[in-house]
Amino acid sequence: MAAVPPSSASGGPEPPPPPLQYSLLLQHLVGEQRRPRAWDPAALGGIPSPPKSEEQKMVERAMESCAFKAALACVGGFVLGGAFGIFTAGIDTNVGFDPKDPYRTPTAKEVLKDMGQRGISYAKNFAIVGAMFSCTECVVESYRGKSDWKNSVISGCITGGAIGFRAGLKAGVIGCGGFAAFSAAIDYYLR
């Protein structure tokens, strides 16, 4: 027994639907009549994140403070400067050299002592520069309310000028320009 198509109110069979036009379908899928979908990860389930506790908020505030950033840069600069100082002392041929007796070979103790002294000297200098730069960048960023390349250029100028100003006004201006240019180059490379 064959299925009988339903009849319309007029008593005759319904007309078949119009054939599917692929050009119309393509207009709605990829053409001009396409409606863009808003990308909302939360609508798709997203990554659930529980609300932060007061302790987590307190730790975040502490880690984003200028004092913490300056201390972190100071410690990082000390470690990096110490390593750099020991490395440069290790490849320097004049470490342990005695000008009174140029033909005497320095002992291992003398070489290690000179390496330690140079490492500590570099470590202190790198720590001071790192802390100054980080602190001024954080203060400038807080003052301006923006996080862009201008902050690092301004703080580089302040840091370089303050370090160079000990040797005079001209050295301060050169230090300001040099640190600002170096900060701009590093910021451009990292962003």
Q: Tell me, what's the pLDDT at 119?
A: 93
Euclidean distance between CA atoms 66 and 141, whole angstroms? 10
Helix-then-strand count for the chain, H and E: 6, 0
Condensed to tens digits (0 to 9), the pLDDT of residues 26-39 reads 777 777 777 776 66
Q: Tell me, what's the pLDDT at 176?
A: 94
Q: Is residue 66 a contact partner of residue 138, using CB atoms and an 8 Å limit?
A: yes
pTM above 0.75, yes or no: no
Residue type, 154: I
Euclidean distance between CA atoms 181 and 189, whole angstroms? 12
CA contacts within 13 A on the Cβ side of 35: 2
Residue the block writes with tokens 């808003």: 38
How many CB atoms neighbour CB 146 within 10 A?
Answer: 10
CA dihedral 56, 143, 128, 173 (to 10 degrees): 160
The larger pLDDT score, comparing residue 170 to residue 4, is at 170
